[in-house]
Chains A and B, each alone.
Chain A
């Protein structure tokens, strides 16, 4: 927990006072991040912070630079310039890359057991996590026989197996039917309530609106706006009958998602 001085506004009277409040710590701090692939700029001056126990989403179309940011956060890529601080060790990070990290010829349980052994967890933990993503009936099914959505749920199970402090999820619900996606969103909120910080990328504005505490809209490697989803909708007159993040993105970039 961090202690910070704040400025409080009451009605129209500005009262400046120094108050000690509990504020959640910053878990990820990215400042002026720049990355090029050859001559192509992929990220330009990207800056954002994620507090602990926050669900933060990067929204943007394909090629906006979302996966590049994930690769930089997980130390797979070095930025050309800028600062990246992640306050947890890589061992405390749960990473989900589409259906990555799964062996097609091993079954669901065997796939999880590899990491259960590495993290010194009992094998029962693998079953418990399979249950939480609704795959307990497929525990002995070989991964190559799973549907894409089931593979994605297993990849999520692998990422949350060891109760990581930070979860980095690359489009965690892209191949899921609406019902399963809602279940996964509930699970992510539960993990956040249990103390995890969640960084995710998504195309799904509706999901981001309901799930995330804050979002950043990424377009051509630049963050065009960031904040709480409802606030963004309010600022850009996209509240209408229901808040519409897609309209905010269209208004700011001229591009439809």
Chain B
């Protein structure tokens, strides 16, 4: 427990001192505020062939697709924070631990990989709770809707942090930028491209985006896909540990 606590305190201090994550969170929040209050929403549409993540132009023009939820601006920017800022920040934390040789020192001090994982994830998750609550307030998700908003975005945030950790620990930490671009911007871009929408619906950020668009719907599928993403990443972490990548 003391090892996990030590890692938690250090990572929390690092996040505050090196506030890339907080700066990006504020930047996206400002964009949500500007766009929510200055730009109007989409009109309802109805089309049998459209999927929630992609509404085709005829449907948009004909207002015929009723099952598609309004793309939520707050949702899109929340996804950018979850997919872009969190993956990048988690990866940066681990890369710093690696380049300063602290992972080596921690391994020598008998810090177990799971203790490092828990300490890092918890510190980032606590900061994320505060930031995501602000997004919820700006998006006017109140009461029960706020609870669902926080539940779905926090589950996405935890998967995102795990992914950042794994990529940072891997031998290809340069993949962080590519992954955070795809996960952070993909859900927004999939609104313009059907193929992209169909591929990205299996990603956790797209599921966060879809769930936030309609929080009153049944969210079990969204949670299941997010959970499956998390499970795959955890398995990858265990595999890397066994291969000795984690020291």
Contact = CB atoms under 8 A, between A and B. Distances in A.
Contacts of A105: 14, 17-18
Contacts of A89: 110
B38 interface: no
Closest 4 CB pairs of A and B: A117-B6, A90-B108, A100-B101, A105-B17
B108 A95 contact: yes
Given A74-B108, A106-B14, A120 B2 contact: yes
A: contact size bracket: 20 to 34
Interface string B4-39: 011101100110011000000000000000000000
Contacts of A91: 108-110
A207 B239 CA distance: 46
Interface of B: 2-3, 5-7, 9-10, 13-14, 17-18, 96, 100-102, 104-111
| Interface-central residue, A101, A110, A117, A118, by most chain B CB under 10 Å | A118
Given A106-B14, A114-B9, A101 B102 contact: yes
A257 B17 CA distance: 42
Nearest to A120: B2
Nearest to B104: A76
Contacts of B3: 118
Interface string A99-122: 011111110001001110111100
A42 interface: no
A212 interface: no
Nearest to A99: B100
Contacts, number: 60
A103 B106 contact: no
Contact of A117 (B5, B102, B107): B5
Given A102-B100, A118-B6, A120-B2, A110 B107 contact: no
Contacts of A208: none
A93 interface: yes
A90 B9 contact: no
Contacts of B111: 118
B131 to A, nearest CB: 20
B109 A100 contact: no
A121 to B, nearest CB: 10
Contacts of B17: 105-106
Nearest to B105: A101
Nearest to B108: A90
Nearest to A76: B104
A89 B110 CA distance: 10
Given A114-B6, A117-B2, A118-B6, A103 B108 contact: no
B153 to A, nearest CB: 28
A97 interface: yes
Contacts of A90: 107-110
Contacts of B13: 106, 110
A114 B100 contact: no
